[in-house]
């Protein structure tokens, strides 16, 4: 029964994480409508895109600690119900200030799912299957974001932004019911290694992996946050077509996370695949930068490939952090890593927007390549015996 039940937990975690990701990453696909309806310039749009992530940053550690103390089911159910309330409130706004406030609260509520669903998978799956399972779980992020990119922009264009936010609220409500009905605490939190009793914030390995994660967010968000705007403004794509490109990147990145997780199970290491993905991301963005400077349409398929690779690292870092955590602090460790990811995701859109506004898209993509190169250097010491 336990052997079969772990797949039930994984499925429930995927549903919860997908609905959360659809909320957290829906704004880039809605960017043209938001920019038009609220009168935003590119920098203002970047700040708005970061609002949900700001809520994430403020609360991930708290939700992770709460999951260690109260269990995954209670934390995820409560958080998803709060998402419903916040998204319904978004539909009552008419100005940017209240919109950002409710989106920030939405991000804070979505944070409940990030650490708690990962903790559930870590608890129910053994190390030999954990990379694959966590890859599947992490696939929920780009899959949820991809569904949002494919469905929400056309819906917003046809029925208005409120319709898109209400659909997201309904998905979060369904996910809350699924979690409440199906998820229960693992008999014990199984971990591969780690020093017990030490705070994740005091563990140098977890801090280093968190730094690697923060750096790899930059190339990831260089695509997922701005590819629609880039294709519409620079390549004369229709909004719906550009949104489908974003969906393709998200779905491809989800498949990449599963492949990377299985790869790490087979080689018995999360870190070497992580280093190779970071190096490949760097090389791809160097080429994207050169092609963007040339203004050729050849950059579009390569940008899709670069985006897919740039998304595929996440599950490896997440799994490695969980395995380094001591028993009883998995949620806090995952919350620490997710905080670094969320903080980087919050500052990357506005900073990249400033870079692009002051220079060009080619320079923005070069910055993404430099961040991936730095990640290769930071992860290196963790590979030494």
Pick the CATH number of 2-383 from 1.20.1250.20, 3.60.21.70, 3.30.1330.60, 3.30.70.1350: 1.20.1250.20
Using pLDDT thresholds of 50, 70 and 90, give the confidence band for residue 16. very high
| Between 350 and 211, residue with greater pLDDT | 211
Distance CA 213, CA 379 (A): 10
Non-local CB neighbours of 342 within 8 Å, separated by 6+ positions: 53, 56, 57, 60, 111
Write b or e for each residue in 277-314: b if 16 or more Cβ atoms lie within 10 A of its Cβ, otherwise e: bbebbbebbbbbbebbeeeeeebbebbbebbbbbbbbb
Distance CA 333, CA 248 (A): 31
Using pLDDT thresholds of 50, 70 and 90, give the confidence band for residue 276. very high
Non-local CB neighbours of 82 within 8 Å, separated by 6+ positions: 105, 108, 109, 112
Residue 154 has phi, psi (to 5 degrees) of -65, -35
Does the reported pTM lie above 0.85?
A: no
CB atoms within 10 A of CB 129: 16
Range scoring the smallest mean pLDDT among 58-72, 93-107, 243-257, 325-339: 325-339
The DSSP code for 76 is: H
Residue 101's closest CA among 141, 61, 58, 64?
A: 58
Give, to the nearest 10 degrees, the angle between helix 330-358 and helix 42-49.
Answer: 180
pLDDT in the model for residue 27: 82
Non-local CB neighbours of 373 within 8 Å, separated by 6+ positions: 278, 279, 282
Non-local CB neighbours of 15 within 8 Å, separated by 6+ positions: 140, 174, 175, 178, 179
The string of pLDDT tens digits covering residues 123-134 is: 888 888 888 988
**Domain map (residue ranges) of the chain:** 2-383
Looking up tokens 């599950």 gives: 315
Where residue 183 falls (left for φ over 0; alpha for ψ -120 to 50; beta otherwise) is: beta
The string of pLDDT tens digits covering residues 296-323 is: 889 999 999 999 999 999 889 988 888 8
Distance CA 381, CA 14 (A): 32
pLDDT in the model for residue 33: 84
pLDDT in the model for residue 41: 77
Q: What is the dihedral of CA 31, 56, 331, 374, to 10 degrees?
A: 70
What is the rounded radius of gyration, in angstroms, for the C-alpha atoms of the chain? Answer: 19
3-state DSSP assignment of residue 39:
coil
Distance CA 261, CA 268 (A): 10
The string of pLDDT tens digits covering residues 356-371 is: 989 899 999 999 999 9
Distance CA 292, CA 182 (A): 47
- pLDDT surpasses 70 at 353: yes
Give strand ranges (E) for the chain: none
Using pLDDT thresholds of 50, 70 and 90, give the confidence band for residue 327. low
């Amino acid at each position: 029964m336990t052997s079969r039940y772990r797949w039930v937990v994984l499925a429930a975690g995927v549903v919860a994480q997908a609905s959360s990701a659809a909320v957290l990453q829906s704004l880039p696909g809605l960017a043209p409508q938001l920019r038009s309806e609220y009168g935003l310039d590119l920098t203002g749009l970047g700040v708005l895109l970061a609002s949900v992530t700001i809520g994430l940053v403020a609360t991930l550690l708290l939700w992770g600690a709460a999951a260690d103390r109260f269990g995954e089911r209670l934390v995820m159910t409560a958080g998803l119900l709060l998402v419903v309330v916040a998204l319904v409130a978004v539909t009552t706004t008419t100005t940017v200030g209240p919109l950002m406030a409710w989106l920030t609260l939405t991000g804070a509520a979505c944070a409940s799912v990030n650490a708690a669903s990962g903790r559930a998978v870590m608890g129910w799956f053994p190390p030999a299957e954990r990379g694959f399972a966590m890859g599947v779980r992490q696939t929920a992020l780009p899959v949820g974001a991809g569904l949002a990119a494919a469905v929400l922009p056309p819906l917003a264009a046809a029925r208005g932004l409120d319709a898109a936010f209400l659909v997201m609220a309904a998905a979060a409500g369904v996910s809350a019911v699924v979690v409440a009905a199906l998820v229960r605490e693992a008999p014990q939190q199984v971990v591969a290694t780690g020093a017990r009793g030490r705070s994740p914030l005091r563990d140098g390995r977890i801090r280093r992996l968190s730094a690697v994660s923060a750096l790899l967010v930059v190339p990831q968000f260089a695509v997922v946050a701005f590819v629609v705007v880039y294709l519409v403004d620079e390549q004369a794509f229709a909004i719906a077509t550009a949104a489908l490109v974003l969906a393709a990147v998200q779905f491809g990145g989800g498949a990449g996370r599963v492949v990377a997780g299985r790869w790490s199970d087979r080689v018995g290491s999360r870190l070497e695949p992580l280093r190779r993905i970071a190096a490949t991301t760097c090389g791809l963005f160097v080429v994207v930068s050169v092609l963007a400077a040339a203004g050729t349409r050849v950059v579009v398929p390569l940008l899709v490939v670069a985006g897919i690779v740039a998304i595929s690292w996440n599950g490896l870092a997440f799994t490695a952090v969980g395995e380094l955590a001591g028993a009883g602090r998995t949620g806090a460790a995952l919350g620490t890593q997710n905080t670094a990811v969320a903080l980087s995701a919050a500052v990357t859109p506005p900073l990249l927007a400033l870079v692009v506004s002051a220079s060009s898209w080619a320079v923005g993509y070069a910055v993404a390549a430099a961040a991936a190169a730095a990640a290769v250097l930071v992860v290196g010491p963790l590979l030494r015996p």
